[in-house]
Amino acid sequence: MKLAVGQFQVSRDWQDNASTIVALMQEAEVKAARLLVLPEAVLARDNQNSQWVIDAAQALDGPFISQLLTASRSLDITTVLTLHVPAGAGKARNVLVALRQGEIVLTYDKIHLYDAFAVRESDKVIAGEALPPLLQVDDFSVGVMTCYDLRFPEMARALALQGAELLLLPAAWLKGPNKEMHWELLTRARALENTCYLVASGECGPKNCGHSLVVDPLGLIIAQAGERPQLIVTEIDRAHLLAVREQLPVLQNCRLV
């Protein structure tokens, strides 16, 4: 199955971001991708004003998602991203959505909020409480996570034990000392320890590192972007995944569940 990973710098203007996403959806479709993974919090961002993502939040039936759903009706591709949705009292939920042919086919509220490295996401965002259901994309059972979820191996393992073969991670991974090393190390570890493919899409720009990547079930990077806006397209192979799981049956051998 061909899949695409799109990274870009999210702007303050939701209309600009919607136009960028529609263009990426169309380009991925032309390149025969069946799945497009985009970064975290793509509705609006102001790197000088962290409150803006909350102030600009929109409901799932608002104009931002409505525009993407309209575009998706004519496309045969599943698109995954996250946006902030109003939650009252000056707060929001960080909601992952999967769009396909004019419909929202999956939503997931981010469970692990980024209260680390002198940042407190929980001051403005309400945490989710439920593990997301799996999503089917062609022959692959797909599990989803969001950014900081990557640092919690029990979440990826729970999705894999439910049957996930492909893990998707929209992210806005902050730059900082050793942060790019953490990004690569953790994505590769989550893929290898669960014998899953893993696709991580990172927002790029002055605050976040980009470097979107696709990792195979043995922890090998098979496609990777740099720091600039980019669409990468690669192919994943379910036969390879099944062969790896036969040789390395960690999910079957796991006893601490």
Residues catalogued as catalytic: 40, 110, 147
Q: How far is 107 from 98, CA to CA, in rounded Å?
A: 7
**Run of H or E including 69:** helix 63-72
Contacts of 239 (CB under 8 A, 6+ apart): none
Phi/psi at 246 (5° precision): -70, -40
As to burial, measured by CB atoms within 10 angstroms (0-12 exposed, 13-18 middle, 19+ buried), residue 64 is buried
Bridge partners (DSSP) listed for residue 174: 208
Cβ(30)–Cβ(63) below 8 Å? no
Phi/psi at 138 (5° precision): 50, -125
